[in-house]
Amino acid sequence: MTTVVWWVRRDLRLHDNQALAAALTRARELVPLFVLDPALLAGPTSSQRRNAFLFAALRSLDAALRRRGSRLIVRAGRPEQVLPTVVRESGATLVMAEADGSPYARRRDEAVARSVPLQLVEGSTLRPLGSIRAPTGEPYRVYSQFRRAWFRLPIPSPQDILPAPPRLPPVPRLASEPIPESPLAVPERFAPSEDAARQRLQHFLAQGLASYHLRRNALDGSGSSQLSPYFRFGLLSVREAWCAAARYLDEPDAAAGARAWLDELLWREFYQHLLAAWPESARMSMQPEFRDVAWPGSNDALARWQEGRTGFPVVDAAMRQLVSEGWMSNRARMIVASFLSKLLLVDWREGERFFRRELVDGDLAANVGGWQWSAGTGTDAAPYFRIFNPVLQGEQHDPNGSWVRTWLPELANVPREYLFAPWRMPIEVQLRAGCRIGHDYPAPIVEYESARARALEWFRSVRQAQS
């Protein structure tokens, strides 16, 4: 009788799960195990928002397991203590898990592997971390080069996709702790189940993919798939999503959208590989000249950005959506990241930390990648002079203003022509709109033109000081 532990971490799914499939080839008994790790659930990088989603997703995974004759075993504690206990209690001879390239996960897995027979299997990325390298053996630091190399290797094929097992082996008698209740609600936008993830993918492929390249920048997020929390926790396999979207490359009407979307999956892939290759990039700028500089931005500026009270409607709407829903569109993320790191000159790591606390899809690799790109400190980043103008961005990507009004009710009656720059309202318009600047809605925290000039000057001086 072979008993195998399937250690679930960021792969809360039964479809196309390579770790589960590998476990099943050996198992007469299977122990689906989730460890409530205090370092992740309550540590400095934890997030109530993500915990809420995770706990709910664990409940639906447990239900799906039960429908197949299995169940989820839940244990709280440090993995290097819990795993040996469960292995001993169950008599398991093998622990299978999906590899996770984040720095903490790698340390954790090394520690666990010292006391139990742990085997890691791919699945969180399209290709194994560390497998995309230049001829010199160096990992790529530039996206376009990474992408070119990636396409030279065999791409995922629909034949590789693993179906969900219809039945699962029995679970040995083992105690299980309850899945915690979260004090925070799961955002309504993201139903926490594998079925919901799969339905959303199908819906996006049918309704959104063909126009993705045209609509992806909409500030309200209506033009993108909104699958990020599902990829974050592995309720959906990226490999399966890739193959599903790649089928549309041959359809003339959908090819351009499909290409653009697959490209975003590759950005995800790039950042996962980048963090695995340079774990220190989570804590320091990739460009050395930024490592020892003090960013001049103030704590007060940071606080006003976090609270959505900068006086720039596009920025404030985004920050309020972030805190309220735990999600915002890629366009909104780029704008507020550019605003904090360039117009306010606050260290990008402060923004990264705040995002990581609030985002339901918060992921170290993608978040650090996005922030270093936005702040211009990454190896393949936006150049320092690429500064978003929040007024123009609103005009372009929320043209009828409905997204800004959704998140800033105090601007409900502000005329459209002033919506993205309400400080330009003459006083009588302010009174008529019931929105006095500095009273009902903040005056702008900076004057855009001079903040832009200050940013250009500061970035230029940092670069010059080094060279």
Ligand X SMILES: Cc1cc2nc3c(=O)[nH]c(=O)nc-3n(C[C@H](O)[C@H](O)[C@H](O)COP(=O)(O)OP(=O)(O)OC[C@H]3O[C@@H](n4cnc5c(N)ncnc54)[C@H](O)[C@@H]3O)c2cc1C
Binding footprint of ligand X on the chain (CB under 6 A): 216, 224-228, 231-232, 264-265, 267-268, 271, 329-330, 333-334, 337, 355, 359, 361-363, 366-367, 369-371, 374
Any known ligand binding at 361?
yes
Strands 118-121 and 29-36: unpaired
Any known ligand binding at 115?
no
Q: What are the respective helix, strand and coil percentages of the chain, to the nearest 5? A: 55, 5, 40
Q: Which of 17, 51, 217, 330 is catalytic?
A: 330
The span from the first CA to the last CA of the chain, in angstroms, equals: 65
385 binds, among DNA, ligand X, none (CB under 5 to 8 A by kind): DNA
Q: According to CB under 7 A, which residues from 438 to 467 bind DNA?
A: 448, 452, 456, 460
Instruction: Give SS3 for 327.
Output: coil
Q: Is 371 one of the catalytic residues?
A: yes
Any known ligand binding at 204?
no
**At its nearest, how many Å lie between ligand X and the CB of residue 227?**
4
Q: Which of 295, 305, 403, 407 is catalytic?
A: 295
Q: Which of 192, 461, 224 is CA-nearest to residue 329? A: 224
Q: 452 CB contacts (<8 Å, ≥6 apart)?
A: 342, 343, 387, 389
**At its nearest, how many Å lie between ligand X and the CB of residue 243?**
14
363 binds, among ligand X, DNA, none (CB under 5 to 8 A by kind): ligand X
Any known ligand binding at 270?
yes
267 near DNA, rule: CB under 7 A: yes
The residue (of 32 and 422) whose beta carbon lies closer to DNA is: 422
Q: Which of 242, 305, 327, 371 is catalytic?
A: 371
Q: Is 330 one of the catalytic residues?
A: yes
**At its nearest, how many Å lie between DNA and the CB of residue 283?**
24
337 binds, among ligand X, DNA, none (CB under 5 to 8 A by kind): ligand X
Site string for DNA, 330-349 (x = CB under 7 A): x---x---------------
Where on the phi/psi map is residue 434: left (φ > 0), alpha (ψ -120 to 50), or beta? left
Q: According to CB under 7 A, which residues from 31 to 60 bind DNA?
A: none
**At its nearest, how many Å lie between ligand X and the CB of residue 357?**
11
How far is it, in rounded angstroms, from Cα 7 to Cα 5? Answer: 6
Q: Which residues of 168-178 are buried (b: 16+ CB within 10 A; e: fewer)?
A: bbebbeeeeee
Q: According to CB under 7 A, which residues from 387 to 406 bind DNA?
A: 387-389, 392-393, 396
The separation between CA 308 and the C-alpha centre of its own chain, rounded to angstroms, equals 21
Q: Is 150 one of the catalytic residues?
A: no
**At its nearest, how many Å lie between ligand X and the CB of residue 363?**
4
DSSP 350: H
Long-range Cβ contacts of 18-25 (<8 Å, 24+ apart): 18/98, 18/121, 18/122, 18/123, 18/162, 19/96, 19/97, 19/98, 19/120, 19/121, 19/123, 20/96, 20/165, 21/162, 21/165, 22/96, 22/119, 22/121, 23/94, 23/96, 24/165, 24/168, 24/169
**At its nearest, how many Å lie between DNA and the CB of residue 428?**
27
Q: Which of 29, 89, 122, 264 is catalytic?
A: 264
How far is it, in rounded angstroms, from Cα 398 to Cα 215? Answer: 11
389 binds, among DNA, ligand X, none (CB under 5 to 8 A by kind): DNA
Any known ligand binding at 363?
yes
Q: Is 264 one of the catalytic residues?
A: yes
Q: According to CB under 7 A, which residues from 313 to 332 bind DNA?
A: 330
Token pair of 18, please?
A: 């390579």
Token pair of 157, please?
A: 């094929």
How far is it, in rounded angstroms, from Cα 241 to Cα 219? Answer: 24
Residue nearest to ligand X (CB): 370
**At its nearest, how many Å lie between DNA and the CB of residue 380?**
10
At 297, phi and psi to the nearest 5?
A: -60, 150
- CB-CB contact of 14 with 39 (8 Å): no
The residue (of 20 and 332) whose beta carbon lies closer to DNA is: 332
- CB-CB contact of 280 with 374 (8 Å): no
Instruction: For Cα atoms 412, 414, 418, give the angle at the middle one, nearest 5 degrees.
Output: 135
140 binds, among ligand X, DNA, none (CB under 5 to 8 A by kind): none
222 near DNA, rule: CB under 7 A: no
Q: Which of 6, 7, 327, 348 is catalytic?
A: 348
361 binds, among DNA, ligand X, none (CB under 5 to 8 A by kind): ligand X
Q: Which of 45, 41, 102 is CA-nearest to residue 355? A: 45
- CB-CB contact of 360 with 229 (8 Å): yes
The residue (of 80 and 269) whose beta carbon lies closer to ligand X is: 269
The residue (of 23 and 286) whose beta carbon lies closer to DNA is: 286
Q: Which residues bind DNA (CB under 7 A)?
A: 217, 263-264, 267, 330, 334, 382-383, 385-389, 392-393, 396, 448, 452, 456, 460
User: Annotated binding site: which residue ranges?
Assistant: 212, 224-228, 261, 264-271, 361-363
Active site residues: 264, 267, 295, 330, 348, 371
